[in-house]
């Protein structure tokens, strides 16, 4: 399998971590998204019409985009995705929440802050932070009394949410007001195959 990815991406990090946790080998195909490599005619036509990474190529010529769709595809039939229909729907619930409440808020705010884009759009940045804080409050309400997001066992939903939640301080949002979230992050870090930190954004990600 091949993964078209850019290493500082936390969406890509989700997939790379799952590969490690499942013990699956893959070939990394680097895509310099800051140089426009995900917006070539070939990339749009054949890999992802949305022009974004990560993109999984499970077999030559077949491409799957959206990090959470990739996670669910790879986790099928493994211990990280429950077979029970309702538990599986709860996994989906949290992964949809991640794409609605966490990634567009904490993920975008982090990118803007680390790449120098924050001062260009202070009001939009403030709104993303407010949305991120609301998502953290939601997670805290759920995790204060639970070990993992679904049925007290580690699933692909925990990995999915971990990616941008643990990076909240890089968006400027401290996690100390969320002790349940902090304890859960630590439990995720203890999982076999856990991957460490992400590399920083390259120089060409920054506004000049």
Q: Give the footprint of ligand GSH on residues 144-183 (CB under 6 A).
A: none
**Cβ proximity of 82 and 150 under 8 Å:** yes
Task: Report the residue number whose CB is nearest to ligand GSH.
Answer: 52
Task: Confirm or reject binding of residue 53 to ligand GSH (CB under 6 A).
Answer: yes
Task: Confirm or reject binding of residue 67 to ligand GSH (CB under 6 A).
Answer: yes
Task: Confirm or reject binding of residue 128 to ligand GSH (CB under 6 A).
Answer: no
Q: How far is the CB of 42 from ligand GSH (least distance, A)?
A: 15
Query: In the structure encoding, which two tokens stand for residue 26, read together?
Result: 């893959």
> In sequence order, what are the residues at sequence separation of 6 or more whose Cβ sits closer than 8 angstroms to the Cβ of residue 176?
182
Interacting residue with ligand GSH among 4, 52, 110, 166 (CB under 6 A):
52
| CA atoms of 202 and 35, how far apart (whole Å) | 11
Cα-based distances in Å from 52 to 64, 68, 161, 182: 11, 13, 19, 30
Nearest CB to ligand GSH, comparing residues 9 and 21 = 9
For 55, phi then psi, to 5°, come to -130, 125
For the chain, how long is the longest CA-to-CA vector?
51
Q: How far is the CB of 105 from ligand GSH (least distance, A)?
A: 13
Size of the site for ligand GSH (CB under 6 A): 12
Nearest CB to ligand GSH, comparing residues 96 and 146 = 96
Q: Which residues bind ligand GSH (CB under 6 A)?
A: 9, 11, 33, 38, 51-54, 66-68, 99
């Amino acid at each position: 399998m091949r993964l078209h990815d850019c290493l500082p991406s936390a969406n890509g990090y989700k997939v790379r971590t799952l590969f490690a946790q499942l013990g699956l080998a893959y070939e990394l195909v680097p895509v310099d998204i800051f140089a426009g490599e995900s917006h070539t005619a070939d990339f749009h036509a054949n890999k992802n019409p949305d022009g974004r990474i990560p993109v999984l190529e499970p077999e030559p010529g077949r491409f799957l985009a959206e990090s959470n769709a990739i996670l669910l595809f790879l986790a099928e039939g493994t211990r990280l995705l429950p077979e029970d229909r309702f538990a599986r729907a709860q996994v989906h619930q949290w992964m949809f929440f991640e794409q609605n409440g966490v990634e567009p808020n904490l993920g975008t705010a982090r990118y803007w802050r680390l790449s120098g884009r924050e001062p260009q759009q202070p009001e939009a940045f403030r709104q993303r932070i407010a949305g991120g804080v609301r998502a953290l409050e939601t997670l805290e309400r759920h995790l204060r009394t639970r070990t993992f997001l679904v049925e007290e066992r580690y699933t692909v939903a925990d990995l999915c949410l971990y990616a941008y939640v643990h990076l909240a301080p890089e968006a400027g949002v401290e996690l100390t007001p969320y002790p349940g979230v902090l304890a859960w992050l630590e439990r995720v870090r203890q999982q076999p195959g856990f991957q460490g930190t992400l590399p920083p954004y390259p120089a060409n990600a920054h506004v000049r």
